Structure 1
Amino acid sequence: MRFAICNETFQDRSLEDGFALAAECGYEGIEIAPFTLAQRVTDLSPQRRAEIRQAIEKAGLKTVGLHWLLAKTEGFHLTSPDETIRQRTAEYLRELARCCADLGGTILVFGSPQQRNVLPQVTRAKAEDYAVEVFEKLIPELERTNTILALEPLGIQETNFVNTAEEAVAIINKLGSPRVRLHLDCKAMCSEATPIPTLLRTFREHLVHFHANDPNRLGPGFGDLDFVPIFEALLEIGYQGWVSVEVFDYGPGPERIARESIQYMLRCLEQVQRVRAGKT
């Protein structure tokens, strides 16, 4: 289990300073929101991508991948009834896969709630067909770039499409590719009736990536969500991926968010490990 943090946490400073602070706090990885780099990733030249990767590696970090894939863009929509828009969306996702690989990452977290909402004239079943169609066009590029699409369930307050882990896995199973897996986020999972540890155990075979945060939109340890049973479940299922801190409320400031989040997670992990050691 390795700890990472999303780079938009550090939007008040340069990319390089953000990477340096993440490393100083003890994170091993950085997850990138494309909108922090350019309006569209197509605006990033190969040279600029190489420079960003070098800055990440110079800080001693590894690139986890990309998230907020379609945030702050226009003209893309996963479940649009317009074939031209779906084709455009598939092509942009292919470019995101290429950018992810250029930056040294492997994970593409598909959240983007506004760009996946089921539109009024579209049925839920048809929306799923459209989503599968777009993702099928992406899979060859995922294979070529050695990247993985991580489909993220989000609560109903965020979107009306794919609100549960079960719904995400249904789409994953339809696609039937090892390049399309499941991403789970603590804040989003709190909107489900099933407890987080149970969701982790139930969907362990599909899980490839994990976001740590609190339902209050802050980092782990900033609210009431107890991460001890969460880490207990992650260790039990043998999860070896990234635990990446993603927050939405930057009020406490980036340095406090980054430091206190990882300190809290390390304490929880240590507590779980002590209990597990006592049982052996």
Structure 2
Amino acid sequence: MTKLIDFPSRRNFLKTSTGMVTGIAAGLAVPEILFAKNIGPGYSLQLGVFAAYDKADYLRESGCTYIEESVGNFLIPKDGDAQYAKNLQQLHQEKFPIKSYVILLPGSLKTLGPDANHQAILERTDLVLKRAKECGSQYVVFGSGASRIIPEGFDRDKAKAQHIELTKKMAPLAEKYGVTIAVEPLNRGETNFINSLAEGVEIVDAVKSPKVKLLCDIFHMLKEDESPDEIVKFGKHIVHCHIAEKENRTPPGVKGDDFRPYLSALKKIGYKGGLSIECFVYTDFDKEARRGVEVLKQQLSEV
């Protein structure tokens, strides 16, 4: 099949032309300028993908600066301490950083309601944060929607108080290990508690810890029809970001979602952290993940 040439828009042509003039003045050869990365003043971020660590080499080659793993796969694997030791060894060999971990808690461990089990959660969290530090990671994401569903008939204010009480007890552990807990708002299809950035900030403000901050997940914002303006409003709390397309949680480039309004909001607050593609089902991981990174880089360059 003949591959069509994607001619640049006028806006991108002007940005590229400006970069070429600057490059020529700096003494670069024209071919070097034409194929240089990140020409012009476009916005860029650290990009990563949520995936098993055996995809580290591929993601590095695809333009990622880190990978995002899950607690249950990497830090507390089902095969126990021996498997964690192997995971850690692989991390040291590959030297490709794991920035963050998702799915802190299984659905069986409840943060609120009559079956709340804070002691077990704190024991697990202590081990997770300890191992995250050993791995040189920055964040553990506190989403775990199935753990924080308010049971039918249970008082909402009481549930909120339970969750805040637990997070306040988690905060000193995060401070001890130097790993930030990132509170993640989730859409109402996954849980009925903490469904917006504003609700996430209520938890962060109540805890008042430098190691309990906010995660911005653009997929969940899209599902909740949450405005990009909320990113600007609560930007000072945001330390990490996730992204995926709205309809089926596919990587950027599958359905063609335009994320630029949300990326522009991140640029407006001066956000310089990570942006992870977080999807759970792929038709072709290698192809779609690489394409997702390319699309994000393109859209970031246009905001």
**For the structure 1 residues 116 and 233, does the alpha-carbon distance in structure 2 shift closer, same or farther, using more than 3 Å as the test?**
same
Query: CA contact under 8 A between 2:185 and 2:200: conserved in structure 1?
Result: yes
Of 104, 107, 110 in structure 2, the residue corresponding to residue 77 of structure 1 is 110
What amino acid is the match of 2:164? V
Greater Rg, structure 1 or structure 2? 2
Tell me, in whole angstroms, the C-alpha distance in 1 between the residues paired with 2:219 and 2:249: 7
What amino acid is the match of 1:239? Y
Tell me, in whole angstroms, the C-alpha distance in 1 between the residues paired with 2:212 and 2:145: 18
1:36-75 alignment, distance < 5 Å: 36-37=73-74, 40=76, 44-45=80-81, 48-49=83-84, 51-71=86-106, 74=108
Structure 1 window deviating more from structure 2 (141-150 vs 53-62): it is 53-62
Query: CA contact under 8 A between 2:68 and 2:102: conserved in structure 1?
Result: yes
What amino acid is the match of 2:141? V
Tell me, in whole angstroms, the C-alpha distance in 2 between the residues paired with 1:145 and 1:51: 22
CA offsets 1:97-119 (integer angstroms, 9 cap, x no match)? 11211221110111111111112
Shift in Å at residue 4 of structure 1? 0.9
**For the structure 1 residues 263 and 57, does the alpha-carbon distance in structure 2 shift closer, same or farther, using more than 3 Å as the test?**
farther
CA offsets 1:130-188 (integer angstroms, 9 cap, x no match)? 11111111111101110111111111111011111111111111111111111011111
CA offsets 1:15-35 (integer angstroms, 9 cap, x no match)? 43x111111111111111122
What amino acid is the match of 1:270? S
User: Could you state the TM-score of these two structures normalised by the residue count of structure 1?
Assistant: 0.85
Q: Does 1:19 align with 2:50?
A: no
Shift in Å at residue 271 of structure 1? 2.2
2:285 alignment partner in structure 1: 254
Shift in Å at residue 121 of structure 1? 4.5
What amino acid is the match of 1:22? L
1:86 alignment partner in structure 2: 118
What amino acid is the match of 1:271? E
1:124-203 alignment, distance < 5 Å: 124-195=156-227, 197-203=228-234
Query: CA contact under 8 A between 1:49 and 1:99: conserved in structure 2?
Result: no
> Among the aligned pairs, what percent are the same residue?
28
Tell me, in whole angstroms, the C-alpha distance in 2 between the residues paired with 1:269 and 1:57: 31
Unaligned runs of 5+ in 1: 9-14, 273-280
RMSD: 2.0
2:33 alignment partner in structure 1: none
**For the structure 1 residues 121 and 229, does the alpha-carbon distance in structure 2 shift closer, same or farther, using more than 3 Å as the test?**
closer
What amino acid is the match of 2:268? E
Q: How many residues align?
A: 258
Unaligned runs of 5+ in 2: 1-44
What amino acid is the match of 2:49? I
Q: Secondary structure in 2 aligned to 1:239? A: coil
**For the structure 1 residues 271 and 200, does the alpha-carbon distance in structure 2 shift closer, same or farther, using more than 3 Å as the test?**
same
CA offsets 1:62-111 (integer angstroms, 9 cap, x no match)? 1112111124x64x11113346x122112212221112112211101111
Q: Secondary structure in 1 aligned to 2:145? A: coil
**For the structure 1 residues 57 and 257, does the alpha-carbon distance in structure 2 shift closer, same or farther, using more than 3 Å as the test?**
farther
1:207-218 alignment, distance < 5 Å: 207-215=238-246, 216-218=248-250
